[in-house]
Amino acid sequence: MQLVFHPVFLEHEVPGHPENPERFSMLDLDSLAYLVPDSGEKLLGLVHPQEYVERIKELSLESGVHWLDPDTYICEKTWEASVHAVGAAVLASEKEAFALVRPPGHHATRNRGMGFCIFNNIAIASLNLVGKGKRVAILDLDAHHGNGTQDIVLGNPDIIYFSVHQSPGYPGTGLETQENCYNFPLPPGSGDAEFFKAWQSFYPILERFDPDYIALSLGFDSYYKDYGWLTYLRFSLKPFRTVLELKENYKVFGVLEGGYNPESIKDGVELILSV
């Protein structure tokens, strides 16, 4: 699977924040081959109201650091990084590739950035496909529930959403299945056995839905090497390999969400490149 990346992703930064460029520090980005995305600004309206978009843009043009909430910052490079993260997700959907992006997106609702997220990259790319007559299954393996993604796609007949995530934990949502959003909250310490129990319940639903595309929100904070950084799940690489290998039967693309131990990101990217 190819990578999509833009160097501006390394410039969205507040020192000491867990969502920082050091997440990529174990990747040799100079030697990795990757596709470079254009800005996805023109597609923001698929999800986000213009008032919210303009607020993010204006804050990024001001000097200093601004906070949307206690977790989510905006610096002078946030606008450029965020619109290219959207562009990367869309390009990944077109090339069946993986978008190695910052900032992540699955917590961003239509009109609110939160949980380190500014724009909802995976939702915009998925709705762009829906606008072209495609059906999309979004599979979210991040340790946190993608509350923003669910908020955006809930009730959409052309999308189903699957999430395995730690509960209790941030943001406190995803406790039950709602319409087309299939949630499997897992207690802290859960590993592969708990993932595959959830997967076996969901997979028949996926087959019946028969999507044209599978969109992967891959957060490697559920990987065992990220245990204790922000969350407490213990997945091996097997769950990630399982969803990536859906490429055998479906068109698959992915977007990076969490993962805060640089070694987790390195192992995840190596797996992605091997598929």
Distance CA 118, CA 75 (A): 12
What does the pLDDT average to over 201-206? Answer: 98
**Tokens representing residue 157 in the block:** 């007949």
Q: What is the pLDDT of residue 174?
A: 98
pLDDT of 145-159, one tens digit each? Answer: 999 999 999 999 999
Helix (H, G, I), strand (E, B) or coil at 230: coil
pLDDT of 222-262, one tens digit each? Answer: 999 999 999 999 999 999 999 999 999 999 999 999 999 99
DSSP assignments along 27-58, one per residue:
S-TTT---B-PPP-GGGGGGTS-HHHHHHHHH
pLDDT of 74-127, one tens digit each? Answer: 999 999 999 999 999 999 999 999 999 999 999 999 999 999 999 999 999 999
Q: The domain containing residue 97 runs over which residues?
A: 3-274
Q: Where are the beta strands (DSSP E) in 131-263?
A: 136-140, 159-166, 181-186, 213-218, 251-256
Mean pLDDT of the chain: 98
Lookup result for tokens 């019946």: 208
Q: What is the pLDDT of residue 247?
A: 97
Percent of the chain with pLDDT over 70: 100
The H or E element spanning position 195 is helix 192-209
- The total number of residues shown for the chain amounts to 275
Number of domains the chain is built from: 1
Helix (H, G, I), strand (E, B) or coil at 223: strand
Confidence of residue 270 (pLDDT cuts 50, 70, 90): very high
Distance CA 141, CA 131 (A): 25
Q: What is the pLDDT of residue 110?
A: 98
223 close to 259: Cβ distance less than 8 angstroms: yes
Radius of gyration of the chain, Cα coordinates, nearest whole angstrom: 17
Tell me the CB-side half-sphere exposure of residue 230, using CA atoms within 13 A: 22
Q: What is the pLDDT of residue 104?
A: 98
CATH code of the domain containing 250? 3.40.800.20
**Alpha-carbon torsion, ordered 84, 44, 53, 181, to 10 deg:** -110
pLDDT of 49-61, one tens digit each? Answer: 999 999 999 999 9
Residues 6+ apart with CB under 8 A from 163: 140, 142, 145, 146, 150, 174, 181, 182, 183, 184
Which residues are designated catalytic? 107
Residue 200 sits at φ, ψ, to 5 deg, of -65, -30
Q: What is the pLDDT of residue 73?
A: 98
Q: What is the pLDDT of residue 128?
A: 98
What does the pLDDT average to over 119-143? Answer: 98
